[in-house]
Structure 1
Amino acid sequence: MLREQLIPLVRRIGPEPELAPARAARCASTVPGLALTRYVPRFPASVELGREAIVNWLEPTVQRFLTAPTP
């Protein structure tokens, strides 16, 4: 999925297409991290988050990974 779907998307929307693999990898690690804490050890703080809260918390981070200038 990362190679076939996410990297091409990041190449189109990111400011530096050559950094698409690194940016895609950062995004791909963030979302599964929340899913892991929510469904495997079932951390209460993760389990209690509703859909809107998840989007509100993750969106700025994913957006930054995709489009922010390279630090």
Structure 2
Amino acid sequence: MNKNSLIAFLKSYISLAAIMLLIYLILGPSENVSLIFVMALGLPITAIMVFTGWDKKLKKHLP
């Protein structure tokens, strides 16, 4: 993994984690789902997005 893909991964993960955190806080904490689980769930989603190029495609459509 080169430095550019690592930086892209971190940027995408931070963005996705912020969105997931906002949804988690709006919906309220659940007894079945912890915040750590929500953040850990974002890792594979972000990895798939970055390494398949979905993050660049989404940036074209979403500001």
TM-score by length of 1: 0.45
TM-score by length of 2: 0.48
Higher RCO, 1 or 2 (CA under 8 Å, sep at least 6)? 2
